[in-house]
């Protein structure tokens, strides 16, 4: 029997970095769950990624051409199949667009308890789990308790420190399972992807993000200059992405990335609920907006009610003056 | 063709956290002041998707369906004002719950009661509990193919539904044979405003009420974790507003404040 099965998401041949946060959770939970840690690597052309995970536990691979694209039903079918074969007590999946959906489909199909978006998790004395997670867009923290397993656990991104990669086990061959899904009711085409430029917002310590209030793509040059001064990354709200001002990889929020930088500066972002979900865990939030009633001020530590066109160039120059 | 749009009545997500009242005994979040509830924004976008479908497929019947403890008719009837043909409310005290299983079971039973649907549309998640699980359970209970996170929804020749699914770095096209269930994401766009005449017409329409008992839902065993406590997170987030004579001086003062607080380290690590 398997104790914990970690879903290692592979995106375009690369192991997604969230995996190392899941390892931290798995190691903490393995103190109370017997059966050890196993890894599920699902996709097409996953050899390199599977090797990277080998130091963590027993690696199980389902490799199939039908798993080349992030097709949720197919990837979930593979995970449901592996979970049936390995009978884990706990499956841990990343809270990515694909990972969260695989977790939900597995939990619903097997009627396992889904413990999602948790920032803390621990085993309880009676054989259950207790965790803390944000609800209502981060306005409220809920303590949740799940009874006896199996469980599907989806940790909140950035809430757990990434584990160090294991060493020395890369030569151990993974266990291969052939993909035998039931009839699949949906179909997908190959995604249209847009390449990422600059520092990734989910790794930067400072993120300066622009929204609808910027009224166009040009002001993002100013944000970029400020980001460069402080060694940060430029982010954006959905409005800015949908308007085509910046690429979608910069999007902070429900569809985009959940980030937790040390400093988040929101410029011309009103703070719609789907945006706040993505940034409310930041250490310090600064909001610059000309509307004093904008909801972003409700989560901000520092606020400037004013026109960004006047505030931000002076802000940049003040920082530049300090570095000169 | 019949499209069922699932709606949830929720606390207005723009309610400031400071005015939320937590019922720590009942484990419920209440709007502390008399802020009116709203239709979950993601569900409103599902209704918008249905209305757009009807622009190109005239023979579409749109039925809005909600399950909950009690409803504000004025709030829910906004769906009729923008063009839904019918509004069905399933009311029961047991439906004021964090657990998505009873909600999905009530929605599934109501869909069966009205004779099924060709397309069911849900918002990606409720903005109250952020579980994003009801559509998955509903699709499982009514045995429909599930397509999620659509930013556009089209129906080809009345037989297949096609969506554009959002990804973190782009999008992908997906499709399924009807009947099917689709969830929509905020990228789809906001619900249109009702016209004055439609709003007036809607005041004369009444929602159909279904009691949970008459639907004869089987009890779905609880599989969701229970909420054992609620708290307003201590963020230290009372906003300090930067006071200055004009914009440029506010920018300078903001820079100084952040440097002093140690929030900005110039040339710092990435």
For residue B203, CA distances in Å to A295, A296, B69, B77, B198 come to 31, 35, 22, 8, 9
Residues 6 or more apart whose CB falls under 8 angstroms from that of A315 comprise A226, B251, B252, B254, B255
Residues of B in contact with A278 (CB under 8 A): none
Are B117 and B247 members of one domain?
A: no
Q: Is B170 in contact with A230 (Cβ distance < 8 A)?
A: no
**Pairwise CB contact (< 8 Å): A302 & B175:** no
As a whole number of angstroms, the distance between CA B46 and CA B2 comes to 14
Provide the residue range defining the domain that includes B33.
2-215
ipTM: 0.91
Tell whether B177 is covered by a domain: yes
Judge if A163 and A59 occupy the same domain. Answer: yes
Cβ-based contacts of B39 with chain A (< 8 Å): none
Query: B81 to chain A nearest CA, in Å?
Result: 24
Burial of B214 (0-12, 13-18, 19+ CB in 10 A): exposed
Q: Do B250 and B205 share a structural domain? A: no
CATH of the domain at A38: 3.40.50.620
Residues B47, B92 within the same domain: yes
Residues B190 and B70 in one domain: yes
Q: Are A287 and A304 in contact (CB under 8 A)?
A: yes
A183 in a structural domain: no
| Residue B154 resides in a domain | yes
In B, which residues are within 8 Å of A242 by CB distance?
187
Beta strands in A44-119 (DSSP E): 58-63, 90-92, 113-118
Measured between beta carbons, the chain B residues lying within 8 angstroms of A101 are: 148
8-state DSSP, B220: P
Interface check for B269 against chain A (CB to CB < 8 A): the answer is yes
- Would you call B194 an interface residue with chain A, using a CB distance cutoff of 8 Å? no
The answer as to whether B230 is a domain residue is: no
Give the tokens for residue A27.
Answer: 């190691």
C-alpha B45: how far from chain center: 8
Nearest to B130 among A117, A272, A303 (CB): A117
Whether B51 is covered by a domain: the verdict is: yes
Q: Is the domain of A164 the same as that of A40?
A: yes
Task: Tell whether B166 lies on the interface with A, counting CB pairs under 8 A.
Answer: yes
In-domain check, residue A303: yes
Q: Packing angle between helix A308-323 and helix B247-260, nearest 10 degrees?
A: 50
Mind listing the pLDDT tens digit of every residue in chain B (270 residues)?
999 999 999 988 777 666 777 888 888 887 766 678 999 999 999 999 999 999 998 899 999 999 999 999 999 999 999 999 999 999 999 998 899 999 999 999 999 999 999 999 999 999 888 899 999 999 999 999 999 999 999 998 889 999 999 988 789 999 999 999 999 998 888 899 998 988 888 888 999 999 998 887 766 665 789 999 998 776 556 899 999 999 999 999 999 999 999 999 876 543
| A211 lies in the same domain as A283 | yes
Q: Considering only the beta carbons, identify the residue of A114, A139, A193 that sits closest to B133.
A: A114
Positive or negative, the CA dihedral A294, A295, A298, A300 is negative
Does B206 share its domain with B248?
no
SS3 A99: helix
Q: Assign B67 to helix, strand or coil.
A: strand
| Same domain (yes/no): B70, B172 | yes
Which domain does A283 fall in, by range? 206-323
Residue in the block written with tokens 């050890």: A36
Put simply, whether B261 touches A (Cβ < 8 Å) is yes
**With an 8 Å Cβ cutoff, are A254 and B168 in contact?**
no
Q: How far is A11 from chain B (nearest CA, A)?
A: 11
Residue A199 domain flag: no
A299 domain-assigned: yes
Cα distances from A171 to residues A7, A57, B28, in angstroms, run 20, 13, 52
Task: Give residues with Cβ within 8 angstroms of A200, minimum separation 6.
Answer: A233, A249
- A171 and A294 together in one domain: no
Residues A158 and A32 in one domain: yes
| Domain shared by A152 and A253, yes or no | no
Question: Which of A160, A177, A194 is the last residue before a domain boundary?
Answer: A177
* Residue B68 in domain: yes
The answer on B113 and B47 residing in a single domain is yes
The DSSP output letter for B188 is G
CATH of the domain at A268: 3.40.50.1220
Question: Same domain, yes or no, for A230 and A158?
Answer: no
Minimal Cβ distance to A144: which of B175, B227, B236: B227
CA of A271 vs chain B CAs: smallest distance (Å): 9
Distance from CA of A62 to the nearest CA of B (A): 22
CB within 8 Å: A112 and B11: no
Q: How many domains does chain B have?
A: 2
- The total of structural domains in chain A comes to 2
Per-residue pLDDT of chain A (324 residues; tens, 9 = 90+): 789 999 999 998 999 999 999 999 999 999 999 999 999 999 999 999 999 998 899 999 999 999 999 999 999 999 999 999 999 999 999 999 999 999 999 999 999 999 999 999 999 999 999 999 988 877 788 999 999 999 999 999 888 999 987 665 666 789 999 999 999 999 999 999 877 666 788 889 999 999 999 999 999 999 999 999 998 999 999 889 878 899 878 999 877 788 989 999 999 999 887 788 889 889 999 999 999 999 899 889 999 999 999 999 999 999 999 876
CA distance A300 to B238: 7
Among B198, B215, B232, where does a domain finish? B215
Task: Using CB atoms, pick whichever of A131, A242, A322 lies closest to residue B259.
Answer: A322
Q: Tell me whether residue B137 is in a domain.
A: yes
Q: Identify which of A103, A145, A111 has the alpha carbon closest to the alpha carbon of residue A127.
A: A145
Q: How many CB pairs under 8 A join A and B?
A: 274
User: Residue A307: which of B133, B168, B247 has the nearest Cβ?
Assistant: B247
On whether both B169 and B209 belong to a single domain, the answer is yes
Q: Is A36 contained in some domain?
A: yes
Q: By CA distance, what is B22's nearest residue in A?
A: A140
B220: in domain: no
**Chosen from A17, A106, A139, A200 to mutate, greatest number of chain B CBs within 10 A:** A139
B28 occurs within a structural domain: yes
Chain B nearest-CA residue for A136: B128
């Amino acid at each position: 029997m398997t104790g914990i099965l970690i879903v290692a998401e592979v995106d375009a041949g690369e192991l997604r970095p969230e995996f190392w946060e899941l390892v931290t959770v798995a190691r903490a939970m393995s103190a109370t769950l017997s059966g050890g840690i196993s890894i599920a690597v699902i996709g097409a052309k996953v050899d390199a990624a599977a090797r990277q995970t080998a130091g963590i536990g027993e690696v199980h691979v389902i490799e199939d051409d039908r798993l080349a694209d992030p097709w949720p039903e197919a990837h979930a079918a593979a995970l449901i199949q592996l979970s049936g074969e390995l009978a884990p007590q706990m499956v841990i999946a990343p809270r990515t667009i694909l990972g969260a959906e695989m977790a939900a489909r597995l939990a619903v199909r097997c009627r396992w308890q889904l413990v999602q978006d948790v920032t803390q998790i621990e085993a309880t004395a009676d054989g259950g789990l207790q965790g803390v997670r944000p609800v209502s867009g981060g306005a409220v923290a809920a303590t949740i308790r799940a009874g006896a397993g199996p469980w599907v656990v989806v940790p909140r991104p950035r809430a757990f420190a990434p584990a160090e990669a294991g060493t020395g086990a890369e030569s151990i061959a993974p266990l291969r399972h052939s993909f035998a899904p039931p009839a699949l009711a949906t179909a997908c085409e190959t995604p249209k992807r847009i390449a990422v430029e600059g520092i990734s917002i989910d790794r930067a310590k400072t993120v300066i993000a622009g929204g609808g209030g910027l009224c166009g793509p040009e002001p993002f040059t100013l944000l970029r200059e400020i980001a460069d001064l402080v060694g940060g990354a430029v982010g954006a709200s959905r409005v800015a992405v949908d308007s085509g001002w910046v690429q979608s990889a910069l999007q902070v929020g429900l569809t985009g990335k959940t980030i937790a930088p040390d400093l988040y500066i929101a410029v011309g972002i009103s703070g719609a609920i789907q945006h706040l979900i993505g940034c409310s865990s930041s250490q310090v939030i600064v909001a610059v907006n000309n509307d004093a009633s904008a909801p972003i001020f409700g989560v901000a530590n520092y606020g400037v009610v004013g026109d960004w066109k006047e505030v931000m160039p002076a802000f940049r120059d003040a920082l530049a003056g300090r570095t000169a | 063709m019949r499209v069922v749009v699932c709606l949830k009545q929720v606390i207005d997500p723009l309610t400031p956290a400071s005015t939320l009242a937590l019922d720590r005994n009942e484990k419920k979040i209440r709007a502390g002041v008399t802020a009116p509830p709203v239709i979950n924004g993601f569900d409103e976008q599902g209704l918008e998707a249905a209305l757009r479908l009807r622009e190109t497929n005239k023979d579409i019947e749109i039925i809005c369906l909600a399950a909950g403890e009690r409803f504000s008719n004025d709030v829910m009837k906004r769906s009729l004002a923008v063009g839904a043909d019918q509004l069905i409310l399933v009311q029961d005290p047991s439906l004021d719950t964090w657990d998505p299983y009873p909600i999905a079971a009530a929605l599934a039973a109501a869909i069966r009661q009205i004779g099924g649907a060709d397309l069911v549309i849900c918002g990606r998640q409720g903005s109250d509990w952020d579980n994003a699980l009801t559509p998955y359970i509903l699709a499982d209970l009514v045995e429909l193919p599930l397509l999620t996170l659509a930013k556009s929804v089209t129906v080809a020749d009345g037989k297949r539904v096609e969506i554009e699914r959002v990804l973190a770095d782009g999008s992908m096209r997906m499709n399924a044979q009807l009947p099917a269930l689709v969830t929509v994401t905020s990228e789809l766009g906001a619900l249109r405003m009702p016209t004055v005449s439609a709003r007036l017409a809607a005041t004369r329409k009444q929602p159909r009420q279904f009691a949970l008992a008459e639907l004869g839902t089987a009890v779905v065993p609880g599989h969701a974790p229970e909420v054992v406590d609620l708290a307003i997170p201590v963020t230290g987030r009372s906003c300090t507003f930067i006071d200055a004579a004009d914009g440029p001086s506010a920018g300078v003062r903001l820079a100084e404040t952040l440097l002093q607080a140690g929030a900005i380290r110039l040339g710092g690590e990435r």
